[in-house]
Structure formats: C-alpha cells, structure tokens
C-alpha cells in the first residue's frame, strides 16, 4: 500500500455489520479473488520486442500500488532472458518516479544490458501516457552451488497464535480497513500489533510481521512468480518501522507517504504459500524521508531475502513550528 498511499484520516468505529466498499473503489469482479487478480496483473501482454503493456489492480484512491509496478517490471524483464535459460532473479532495484494512475495502461520497455554465462541484467522503464513512473533494474542468475552462511532467525511467536490483521479491522468503517479485509491477497500478522488504527501502539523502530498468500498456488509455480509476489507484497510493510519510530500510523490524519526507491536481494528459494517472517527496522527518519530494512525468513528459519526501501513520510507541522 506504500508507493501509492495518499493522505490518511482517522477511522470511525462501525457497528457489527461489515462496512460497504468505498463508492469510488472500482472492482473488476464481485468475489474479488484477490490473489487471482494479482496474478492476472502480473502477466503483462507482450506487444513488441522487449515491449509490454500491463493493467492495474483496483484501490481506494486513484494511485497505482507501487509494489504492483515493481513486480510487473520484474516479470517483463524475465521474459526477455535467453531462450531456455533457467535464471531466477537474484536482485533488483527500482526508483518510483511519479504516481501511477488507475485506469491508464502501464507500458514496460525492457532493455537488454547483458547476457553472460551465468548472469543476465535488464533495465525496465515503466511509463503511462509517455511519462515515466518507474525505472527498474534486475539481475538474474543460473542456480549454482557455492559457500553457505546465513544469519539466524530471531525467536518469534508462531503465526497461528497471532490475530490476522483482517480480523482486527473487520468492524472498522474505513477504506484502508475494507481493503485489508476484502481485497488483500496476503494474510498479515504483526507481532507487535497492527499499525493501521490507534490501539495503544508503543514507539519502536523495529517490528516483526508474518505474511503468506491467502490462497495456495500450484506446486509447479516458478520461482519467478514466487519472487515477483514477494516483491509485490513487501511494499505494504517496508516503511512501517519508520512510522512506528515516530508514533505514526498509516491512517494518521493528513499524513503523506510514498515509496521512493526499493532494493531486494533473493538468497534462497521463496515460497509465498507458507508463512514468511519479516524482521524489520528503521535506522533513520529525516528530511521528510524514512529508511526501512527487512530480513525475510521462511518458517524453517532459512533467510530467503533481504530488502531495503526509502520512502517519503510527511506530516503537518505543529502550529508552533508551521
């Protein structure tokens, strides 16, 4: 939800009846099937050599979700790899340049920078109506043997013992709550408690979050798809430690948040069907920006990815400082 979130507003409690979807939220299908929708938009149409066109998921504003564009760039880049090469992505870096608008096709132009014996590198420019919204680079590597070491996963509560964020916000009438409950393709469970609405959160620059896809995927699903889904999903939580460090919420009144740049390194095979633990921190917030970092472990304790993201975080100045 970062890379495309606008100003927040304070929620108002609702009764026991589930809230209706926001009237301005245009949904392509009644039953939502959120993971199916994500997979559909991560399948851009090839319209020429190295050129693709993609659509966008619905949302509670006119902004395209940044994680979606990043994942679409990754998939488009992978489709230009040498024929027959099995090279999953091992790293990516993207800059979010402008707000993407819903209802406008996203054009993806892939540039082949390098194909070597083990590695391939691609650059992607994502545009809407001729205006760049993201520049992106990714590197792909054939699966190879090598020396092995990893940092150990910290202790964390079992995800099944934690409440789902969807359950926590089920009776709150707010567009953000509605999206978490009805349109989220991933089940998120914060160890320290959710960060959407005021519920006694304590300030801290760290957090841990369990996450997995709400619906299973076929066993034949490629590592490309699993890693693209991880790139898609992680944009929801990367700036949260920076918010927690300053006592802020996603719904803090008049807050303005957007992803600026994003980097990922994939270390081991990813399976989004099972729980993944995000161990996160924010080393600094300053100048209207905040930095978030995450190490992602699978349920067995394997370190599968490392992520870093900087984002814009702006809040109104207090009256005595305005």
Cβ-defined contacts of 285-291 (< 8 Å, 24+): 285/242, 285/245, 285/246, 285/313, 288/312, 288/313, 288/314, 289/260, 289/313, 290/239, 290/242, 290/243, 290/245, 291/242
Please indicate whether residue 30 or residue 248 has the higher confidence score (pLDDT).
248
- Does pLDDT of 293 surpass 60? yes
Closest CA to 217 of 206, 230, 204, 208: 230
pLDDT at 237: 94
Q: Which alpha helices (H) appear in 107-222, and where do they start and end?
A: 165-168, 175-178
43 is catalytic: no
Pick the catalytic residue: 2, 55, 259, 282? 259
309 is catalytic: yes
pLDDT at 29: 36
Q: What is the mean pLDDT of the chain?
A: 86
Using alpha carbons only, give the angle 277, 166, 240 rounded to the nearest 5 degrees.
50
pLDDT at 7: 33
pLDDT at 180: 60
pLDDT, tens only, 168-220: 766 666 666 656 655 578 999 999 988 887 776 789 999 999 999 988 888 99
pLDDT at 170: 66
pTM of the model: 0.87
pLDDT at 33: 63
Least confident of 26-35, 62-71, 189-198, 231-240: 26-35
Question: Do 160 and 136 touch, CB atoms closer than 8 A?
Answer: no
Structure token digits, residue 125: 């420019």
- Does pLDDT of 278 surpass 60? yes
How far is residue 154's CA from residue 208's CA, in Å, rounded to a whole number? 10
101 secondary structure, DSSP code: B
Which letter, b or e, does each residue of 165-189 get, where b requires 16 or more Cβ atoms within 10 Å of its Cβ? bbebbbebbbbbbbbbbbbbbbbbb
- Does pLDDT of 234 surpass 90? yes
282 is catalytic: no
User: In degrees to the nearest 10, what's the CA dihedral of 231, 280, 217, 36?
Assistant: -60
CA dist list (Å): 70 to 85, 127, 156, 202, 244 = 22, 12, 29, 32, 25
How far is residue 154's CA from residue 172's CA, in Å, rounded to a whole number? 33
Structure token digits, residue 213: 């896809």
Confidence of residue 252 (pLDDT cuts 50, 70, 90): confident
Which letter, b or e, does each residue of 9-20 get, where b requires 16 or more Cβ atoms within 10 Å of its Cβ? eebeeeeeeebe
- Does pLDDT of 136 surpass 70? yes
pLDDT at 19: 36
How far is residue 140's CA from residue 117's CA, in Å, rounded to a whole number? 11
CA dist list (Å): 117 to 86, 92, 113, 140, 267 = 12, 19, 14, 11, 20
Q: What is the mean pLDDT of residues 139-162?
A: 96
Q: What is the mean pLDDT of residues 71-91?
A: 93
- Does pLDDT of 164 surpass 50? yes
pLDDT, tens only, 302-315: 999 999 999 999 99
Confidence of residue 36 (pLDDT cuts 50, 70, 90): confident
pLDDT at 20: 42
Pick the catalytic residue: 2, 164, 207, 235? 235
Phi, psi of 211, rounded to the nearest 5 degrees: -150, 140
Question: Do 180 and 23 touch, CB atoms closer than 8 A?
Answer: no
Q: Which residues contact 83 (CB under 8 A, 6 or more apart)?
A: none
Query: DSSP string of 215-254?
Result: S---TT--HHHHHHHHHHHHTTTTTHHHHHHTT--TT-BT
63 secondary structure, DSSP code: B
Pick the catalytic residue: 2, 78, 280, 309? 309
Confidence of residue 24 (pLDDT cuts 50, 70, 90): very low
How far is residue 202's CA from residue 218's CA, in Å, rounded to a whole number? 40
């Amino acid at each position: 939800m970062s890379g495309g979130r606008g100003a927040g507003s304070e929620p108002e409690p609702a009764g026991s009846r589930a809230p209706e979807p926001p009237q301005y939220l245009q949904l392509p299908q009644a039953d939502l099937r959120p993971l199916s929708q994500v997979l559909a938009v991560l399948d851009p149409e090839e319209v020429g050599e190295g050129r693709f066109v993609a659509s966008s998921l619905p949302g509670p504003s006119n902004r395209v979700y940044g994680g979606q564009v990043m994942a679409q760039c990754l998939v488009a880049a992978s489709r230009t790899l040498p024929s027959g090469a099995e090279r999953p992505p091992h790293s990516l870096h993207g800059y979010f340049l402008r707000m993407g608008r819903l209802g406008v096709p996203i054009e993806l132009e892939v540039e082949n920078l390098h194909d070597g014996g083990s590695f391939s590198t691609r650059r992607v420019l994502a545009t809407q109506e001729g205006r760049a919204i993201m520049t992106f680079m990714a590197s792909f590597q054939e699966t190879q043997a090598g020396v092995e070491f990893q940092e150990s996963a910290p202790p964390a509560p079992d995800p099944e013992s934690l409440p789902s964020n969807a359950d926590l916000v089920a009776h709150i009438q707010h567009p953000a709550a509605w999206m978490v409950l009805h349109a989220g393709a991933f089940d998120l469970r914060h160890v320290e408690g959710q960060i959407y609405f005021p519920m006694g959160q304590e300030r801290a620059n760290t957090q841990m979050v369990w996450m997995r896809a709400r619906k299973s995927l076929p066993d034949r699903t490629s590592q490309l798809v699993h890693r693209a889904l991880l790139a898609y999903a992680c944009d929801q939580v990367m700036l949260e430690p920076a918010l927690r460090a300053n006592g802020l919420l996603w719904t803090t009144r008049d807050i303005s948040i957007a992803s600026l740049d994003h980097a990922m390194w994939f270390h081991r095979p990813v399976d989004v069907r099972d729980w993944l633990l995000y161990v996160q921190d924010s080393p600094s917030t300053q100048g209207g920006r905040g930095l978030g970092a995450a190490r992602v472990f699978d349920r067995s304790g394997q370190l599968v990815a490392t992520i870093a993201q900087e984002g814009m975080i702006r809040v109104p100045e207090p009256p005595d400082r305005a």
